[in-house]
Amino acid sequence: MISTKKTAGIEDKHINTNRQTAIKESNMKMTSSKVIRWSGLAAMVSGLIYVAIQPIHPTDILSSVTTTQWAIVHYLSLIMDFLGLLGIAGLYARQVNKVGWLGLAGYLLFSLFYALALAFHFLEAFISPALATEAPKFVAGLLGMVTGISSEVSLGAIPIVYGLLGVAYMLGGVLFGIATFRAGILPRWAGGLLAIGAALTLAGALVPHPFDRIFAVPVGLALAWLGYALWSERREKASEFSPVGSARPEPSKAA
């Protein structure tokens, strides 16, 4: 016959193992929940910066490149891009089970936009001012990509990559916005605003620069809205992650 004490000891060990596993899983869920929540703050700040830099962006001419205002705007743009990468990842992670392939495509494209924008803003913040005197035609050519003026010198593959940035921005925003609207986890109208704002990029081709910057405002507001919703969202309480098997069963009787 098996002793009751020995059987109870085996069951206690099994219960303790299950309890430790449940605690680890609970801690992982709570940690990932906090990370996603703080990524909402990153998205919110990124969207607000995107809106704020539009009216203060200096004119895209050669003489502006070496000004303090140019430096401030593009330093802010670098922060915006970095926070945007973090923020869009959190927005996608929050609704990953609902947005499907449409959301995945939008997330990847929008992330590509932020990655390429980070590279271009680094170029504008640090390289263009240094080359403004040494290679003014090259810098003027870079500015021409924004203003629509043809470059006098070869820029290599830079204009192609810049065009890809625009495509990723428009398609990424439209797809991610539609997927967010359909998922219904974050505010639907914020997702709709993101999709509409990104689609309005096409209308920007009909508006002379720099007045086309107005079309960036809906996208920035939508990202700030989504980010705020994610950041302020109440998560499940820690008690809801309580370990299973905490109740100790009665020892079984010996056979």
Please determine, for residue 133, whether its predicted confidence score (pLDDT) is greater than 50.
Answer: yes
Q: pLDDT tens digit string along 230-252?
A: 999 855 443 343 344 444 444 44
pLDDT reported for residue 207: 87
| 129 upstream amide cis, omega within 30 of 0 | no
In this structure, is the dihedral angle defined by the CA atoms of residues 211, 198, 129 and 155, taken in order, positive or negative? negative
pLDDT reported for residue 203: 86
pLDDT reported for residue 36: 85
Nearest to 84 by CA among 104, 113, 55: 113
Q: For residues 162 and 33, what is the distance between their CA atoms, to the nearest angstrom?
A: 35
Q: For residues 117 and 112, what is the distance between their CA atoms, to the nearest angstrom?
A: 8
Q: For residues 121 and 252, what is the distance between their CA atoms, to the nearest angstrom?
A: 69
Please determine, for residue 22, whether its predicted confidence score (pLDDT) is greater than 50.
Answer: no
pLDDT reported for residue 6: 55
Contact in structure between 138 and 155 (CB atoms under 8 Å): yes
Contact in structure between 191 and 226 (CB atoms under 8 Å): yes
Q: pLDDT tens digit string along 98-125?
A: 999 999 999 999 999 999 999 999 999 9
Please determine, for residue 9, whether its predicted confidence score (pLDDT) is greater than 70.
Answer: no
| Angle of helix 68-94 versus helix 216-232 axis, rounded to 10 | 50
- CA 159, 86, 163: angle at the middle one, nearest 5? 10
pLDDT reported for residue 255: 37
Section 4-30 average pLDDT? 52
Nearest to 227 by CA among 123, 61, 87, 53: 87
First to last CA, the chain: 6
Length of the chain: 255
Q: pLDDT tens digit string along 25-71?
A: 444 454 677 888 889 999 999 999 999 999 999 999 999 999 999 99
Q: pLDDT tens digit string along 158-217?
A: 999 999 999 999 999 999 999 999 999 999 999 999 999 999 988 877 888 889 999 999
- Radius of gyration in angstroms for the set of CA atoms belonging to the chain, rounded to a whole number: 26
Please determine, for residue 80, whether its predicted confidence score (pLDDT) is greater than 60.
Answer: yes
| CA-to-CA dists, residue 206 to 11, 115, 134, 202, angstroms | 74, 27, 34, 8
pTM score: 0.80
Residue with tokens 């703050």: 41
Higher pLDDT, 235 or 228: 228
Q: Is 238 exposed, middle or buried (0-12, 13-18, 19+ CB in 10 A)?
A: exposed
pLDDT reported for residue 206: 85
H or E stretch covering 224 = helix 216-232
pLDDT reported for residue 163: 94
